[in-house]
Structure 1
Amino acid sequence: MSCCGPNRRQVLGLLAAAAALPMAGPATARAQAGSLVVTDLEVVTITEQSAAFTWTTLGPDANGNTVPVETDSEVWLGPADGSGPRQIFGDPQPTAYHYAEVTGLEPGRAYRFEARSRGIPAAPALNVATRVPNTPESQGVFTTLVPPPGRLLRTIALSNDIHYGEEISGLIAAGLPPGVRQEPGLPPYPEVMLTALLDDMHRPDRAVDHLLLAGDLTAEATPDQVRGVHAQLATWGAPGRDWFAARGNHDRPHPGPDYASCTPYLDRHDCWGDSFSARQQLVSHEIGGLRLIALDTTQLDAPGGTLDRAQLDQLRELLTGDPDRPTLVFGHHPVTTESGWSNIAGPSFILDAANAAELQSIYRSAPGVFLHHSGHTHRNRRTHADLPIPVEFLEVAAAKEYPGGYMLLRLYEGGYMLNFHKTRTEAARRWSTRSRGEYFGLLPEYTLGTTADRNFVVPRDLTGVMSI
């Protein structure tokens, strides 16, 4: 049972554009001499003092099929105006799914780089997203960000679309296009990716204070799926203190006997609400001078979003009652007109137009609102507001599939910085590489986003937020 796909015409159009493209195989092998292909280079993350690179190594197996090949990882890097790059990262541990993060860089400086395996420079995949002339991958150059002024106050991870319990990734409608399954014998991929997400939250180099989850935590909100995702999140911290969640369309109340043990809701049962919050209920939290507002934007039987009158009125009352308090709003469905026409499913896939217009009108009377975080489209994308308001509208790529990660939001006294990070466990990197073959290999074109969608700084007065 799914309510999250575009219509048949859109599916057929996507398939017609992609039908001839191959999908990657699952196995790994040792390459024959001279046969190694070093590809899929992505400069995923660029902060003020670090950069993260991913790539894949491939070669033929005994039957001549192209498969991932395990080998070493190196990064060569130096100032773009200097004498040339030198090796600053080396990992001899063999892997086919390479991840390298370099640190100690200078803010606002251009660097020339090469990622290598077995001495061979990595090249970007045959994707426009990383091969157009102005990308770091095609130029071999990136420039670090300049952080906002003032002290670092808090660090928040933004995530969404875990789809706990899902078994086939990449289906849009009616079983098409062909989806991708986990390899036999390996744990379910939503659990792999959630484990990797929470692993990153624990690591000191991320120093995450809070985790926000903007919907679709489950595949179809069965009792087992809801209990499973809630229990796994609880291993990281306490709900309402360490992590905060909004409902997505996959988490909606469902009909049928599989849901009968959960709280009744109209002609169905709301299992997600039993562990999280009731449907169409706004939930507000305050942490150290920062206000977090979770919206439930879901409909019962449609992929698009809506907000009922009670939620909108409550939101207006909260914001206008304390309009200057720094506020981050998150909900599953994107809001802006630009998001409507730029996502593959069209305007009906996002928050309905009347609600979106009223929501942005409310933000205009509350200058403390600085960011609206959404999921649903499974892509990294910044879009412009429909009104002249200083609010960033940000869609974050899915945690459960390629590119497989989260946004790290760092709040400073003088603004904020956002960076997309891929999760780093070996199992997560393996599944992320496998799932990039979704949509006949077109998934990176849609979901990765530009460097500026993934890494950016916004000046803003956030002195009302207290540091921990």
Structure 2
Amino acid sequence: MGSKIKLTNSTGTKITNEELCTLGSQHAVITWVTPQQRADTSMYIGETPKHLKKHTFALDSEFHYLEMYNLKPSTRYWYQVESNGVKGSLNSFTTLPAPKGKYLFSFAVMSDTHINYGEVAEDINEIYFGKLVDYANPLLTQCILDSKRRNIDLAVITGDLTDTASRLQYLGLRNQLLPYFGDTPYLLCPGNHDKYTKNSGLGEQGFLDNLADREKTYTSIIFKDYLFLLIDSCRQDENWGDIDPVQMRWIESMLTTNKDRPAFLFLHHPCNGPDLWFGIKNNREFLKLTRSFPNIQGIFCGHIHRNYVSVNRLMTGSRPYVEVPATVQFPCAYAVVRVYENGFAYNSYKVSRLDLSEMSRERFILKKGGKAILTRYCLGRIGDRSFSYFNDQLFRPKQYELSVTLDNTNANKLYENARSIDGASLIPAYDTKKAKVILGRYDSLHLTTQAFREKFFRYGAYARIMEVGNES
């Protein structure tokens, strides 16, 4: 994966992989790593860069997971992480607007847990892309426990619960893992891996007999006067998705019958247009059907193992189509949807076992820039991990990055200089012989351009401006 950058600062500590994980109207989560150094988890934060207050959240960790509460909606904050007296770059974000109306309930969304008990599919995600099949059980367990600490009222898992649909996997889920939900109800969609019959897989019958407790692979429930549709987009031993005509008629019937109820739809495969990685083949028919129902609040899926949010302005306006990340592959995450009278807020959270999330990132194998590519693709942009949706408007935050990419030796020199003056952090570059020095991340292009001039005169380095997670 390329040579390591030598540490030269007095504490032996460096800030790496700093990421604004998720952002709400009143909270934010930031994560970072201090490789091979246990340190405090601290942050300076305030509404102006000259008046920042220090908060310390933990005292002895290599993997730093920081959550700040009691923020104001629609407000810009400046922040700077710190460990062992070493500071990251000075950054900013603007909190999301809060959805209008009374808070009603919340639910978690998880996907692609790939429980295997050693019976693995040996797919490309496992071989090349950091899929942690050997840690699938503790990752799902921790995601369940983490989501329950956020006081969810319901959970939905959108498929690929198992890796090969074996009896052992289904029984392990039923008897050992899903019971961690306790008294929190959960709903399950099948994924393409749950319909494998090759290599002694039980296919959808195993899903129905051992997990679903229902006659069909698709179903609906009314929860808190909201319609939840669980759609089966999978076919036996196929990776491509497809929704059969019988289900299409059922979806139309359920939405028509419940046209006065807000609705959330769940399926395993992406459905908003053609997808290069095995989305549903009949996406046009599905979009044509669902465009007639404005009561649909959002559509959630998995399968692609990434954070990604899209809209289809032509067909369905600003309605969000949300791809939920895998629990078993970087960023090893789950999502929470908080529902209000006139909309909802969405946040994707890395699992609190940040050591496993980083292990997945490190296992990504490509000759050029594997970790950088994985971070961009799977973690996505901050607007893919956080948004508010109300009054038919989608509010998505942005963050722009000011960075310099240099060979490892010169990157370390710039990092040491910058972190001693303003603060800085390091992340992998696409070229494994290089590293990227982060000089700042800002919530507006204007602030980034302003900082560009300041950093150029200060360090003589020509920095690049780009949206975080959207590098070209």
Q: For the superposition of Structure 1 and Structure 2, which TM-score range results when normalised by the shorter chain?
A: 0.7 to 0.9
Q: Does 1:447 align with 2:382?
A: no
For residue 336 of structure 2, the aligned residue among 408, 424, 435 is 408
Which residue is equivalent to 1:76?
44
Aligned equivalents of 2:136, 2:123: Cα separation in 1: 17
What is the deviation of 1:275? 1.8
Q: Does 1:56 align with 2:33?
A: yes
Which residue is equivalent to 1:65?
none
Helix, strand or coil for the counterpart of 1:384? strand
Which residue is equivalent to 1:198?
144
Q: Does 1:430 align with 2:355?
A: yes
Distance 1:171 1:254, change over 3 A: closer
For residue 350 of structure 1, the aligned residue among 261, 279, 282 is 279
**How big is the alpha-carbon RMSD for the aligned residues of Structure 1 and Structure 2?**
2.8
Which residue is equivalent to 1:101?
67
Distance 1:423 1:180, change over 3 A: closer
Q: Does structure 2 conserve the Cα–Cα contact (< 8 Å) formed by 1:295 and 1:330?
A: yes
Distance 1:247 1:102, change over 3 A: same
User: Which range moved further: 293-302 or 324-333?
Assistant: 293-302
Q: Does 1:86 align with 2:17?
A: no
How many matched pairs? 382
What is the deviation of 1:350? 0.3
What is the deviation of 1:114? 0.7
Matched-pair identity in %: 26
Aligned equivalents of 1:236, 1:88: Cα separation in 2: 32
What is the deviation of 1:379? 0.8
Please give the TM-score of this superposition, normalised by the length of structure 2.
Answer: 0.75
Aligned equivalents of 1:146, 1:174: Cα separation in 2: 36
CA deviation string 1:161-185 (max 9, x = no partner):
1111176999754975375668xxx
CA deviation string 1:177-230 (max 9, x = no partner):
375668xxxxx4111111111111331xx1101101101111111111111122
What is the deviation of 1:246? 0.2
Matches of residues 23-422 of structure 1 in structure 2 within 5 Å?
Answer: 33-58=10-35, 68-80=36-48, 83-92=50-59, 94-122=60-88, 140-165=91-116, 172-173=123-124, 176-177=127-128, 188-203=134-149, 206-231=150-175, 232-237=177-182, 242-256=185-199, 258-259=200-201, 270-277=205-212, 281-337=217-273, 340=275, 346=276, 349-352=278-281, 355-385=282-312, 387-422=315-350
Aligned equivalents of 2:128, 2:41: Cα separation in 1: 34
What is the deviation of 1:55? 0.3
Q: Does structure 1 conserve the Cα–Cα contact (< 8 Å) formed by 2:311 and 2:318?
A: no
Give unmatched runs, 5+ long, in structure 1: 1-20, 25-29, 59-67, 124-138, 183-187, 263-267, 341-345, 462-468
Helix, strand or coil for the counterpart of 1:235? helix
Give unmatched runs, 5+ long, in structure 2: 393-472
Which has the larger helix fraction? 2
Paired residue type of 2:287 = Q
CA deviation string 1:341-362 (max 9, x = no partner):
xxxxx1x51000xx21121122
Please give the TM-score of this superposition, normalised by the length of structure 1.
Answer: 0.75
Q: Does structure 1 conserve the Cα–Cα contact (< 8 Å) formed by 2:117 and 2:168?
A: no
Aligned equivalents of 1:23, 1:169: Cα separation in 2: 32
What is the deviation of 1:304? 1.1
Aligned equivalents of 2:130, 2:46: Cα separation in 1: 41
Helix, strand or coil for the counterpart of 2:32? strand
Aligned equivalents of 1:283, 1:22: Cα separation in 2: 49
Distance 1:170 1:276, change over 3 A: closer
What is the deviation of 1:389? 4.3
